[in-house]
Chains A and B, each alone.
Chain A
């Protein structure tokens, strides 16, 4: 069983809708949580970064972490066609090198 589970999608939404993405995990030691965005044939780029539980907002993006449920979410408000990409969650306990775990990614398509 993977430590981090993520629905691969694709998730198709109309422009302006709210996109809701999530990941579940099994390792209770994880305390650093990230969302990366990856456009087609490009490298991932860090989108949101959260330490421990709670919410973090950056423009149209909101990241939520619920450590009690081992569940993290990313919300994209007022979605745009330029948000069409694959979104990967990632997490780390921060206690050792090379232990960052990625989800398999969810493909999002925002249609005009």
Chain B
């Protein structure tokens, strides 16, 4: 059982470039989300989705776009990368109530550096 799979694991971008971080889960979870983790800041929610076709903003959505066309996939798009977006990004999923109450399954993370 693969769980939550994120690609790529590492990426270096130049300022202004765009890219997509991929996230896929095989647990048939309705709830999926993207977090960024920065030193001393903990995990901060970027965007989340409660089902295919439904997305919403989290705490730090600026500079990121998401879409949810299938239950399994939830890609995160960086529109025009900035050095402030250098971070470790985690995708997480959950059965529906867990998305409200905090029982999340995380991927292994994608480390992004923006020069």
Residues of A in contact with B (beta carbons under 8 Å apart)? 4, 6, 8, 32, 34, 41-46, 49, 51, 88, 90-92, 94-100, 102-105
Contacts and interface: CB of A to CB of B under 8 A. Distances in A.
A88 B35 CA distance: 14
B40 A8 contact: yes
B43 A97 contact: no
Nearest to B9: A41
Nearest to A43: B106
Given A44-B43, A44-B90, A97-B56, A32 B102 contact: yes
B106 A97 contact: no
Contacts of B99: 97
Nearest to A44: B106
Nearest to B88: A41
Residue of B42, B44, B59 ringed by the most chain A CB atoms within 10 A: B42
A7 to B, nearest CB: 12
Nearest to B43: A102
Nearest to A31: B101
Contacts of A95: 100
A34 B48 contact: no
Contacts of A90: 43, 102
B91 to A, nearest CB: 9
Contacts of A92: 100-102
Contact of A102 (B4, B40, B42): B42
A6 B107 CA distance: 23
Contacts of A34: 102-103
Contacts of B48: 97-98
Contact of B106 (A45, A51, A96): A45
A57 B69 CA distance: 40
A44 B3 CA distance: 13
B24 interface: no
Interface string B2-29: 0010000000000000000000000000
A43 B107 CA distance: 6
